[in-house]
Amino acid sequence: MNNSSAGPSSKARVGASQPSENSLKRKRGMFQKDLQHMMYGFGDDSNPLPETVSLVEDIVVDYVTDMVHKAQDIATKRGKLLTEDFLFLIRKDLPKLNRCTELLSMNEELKQARKAFEVDEEKLASHQ
């Protein structure tokens, strides 16, 4: 039996905002060391199987890519991608939303702290 009548191909179903097949090719293994450390931190072996790390990397890259495409779709009306677009996408996943808002507020605190040190350095340099 021929599967050609099963419906449109997956390429035909891809929306206009989806990247081309060539742009999806990526350098594998970019995140392997980081993922190994994260996996160990979450209870895996200190040297997990390379196949396991590759699988986790594929899952993470697919998830992040999907989130970025969805956020870009939301932002097209405004013309600019904002942090709030990502927060909107995870609004129903409270643990992720809470963690993201916590990290964003810590990032803002770090920016303010760096800014305070920059001013102090400028004052010290001008008094010498």
Q: How confident is the model over 51-69, as pLDDT tens digits?
A: 999 999 999 999 999 999 9
Confirm whether 4 is domain-assigned.
no
Q: Into how many domains does the chain fold? A: 2
Task: Clarify whether residues 68 and 103 are in a common domain.
Answer: no
In the predicted structure, residue 21 carries a pLDDT above the cut 90: no
Task: Clarify whether residues 75 and 36 are in a common domain.
Answer: yes
In the predicted structure, residue 73 carries a pLDDT above the cut 50: yes
Residue 116 confidence (pLDDT): 86
In the predicted structure, residue 6 carries a pLDDT above the cut 80: no
In the predicted structure, residue 128 carries a pLDDT above the cut 70: no
Parent domain of 44: 29-79
Sign of the C-alpha dihedral computed for residues 100, 103, 107 and 113 taken in this order: positive
Residue 77 confidence (pLDDT): 85
Confirm whether 23 is domain-assigned.
no
Percent of the chain whose pLDDT exceeds 90: 64
CATH code of the domain covering residue 35 = 1.10.20.10
Confirm whether 1 is domain-assigned.
no
Task: Clarify whether residues 73 and 108 are in a common domain.
Answer: no
Domain boundary among 57, 79, 101: 79
Residue 29 confidence (pLDDT): 85
Q: What is the pTM of this model?
A: 0.67
Confirm whether 65 is domain-assigned.
yes
Q: How confident is the model over 89-117, as pLDDT tens digits?
A: 999 999 999 999 999 999 999 999 998 88
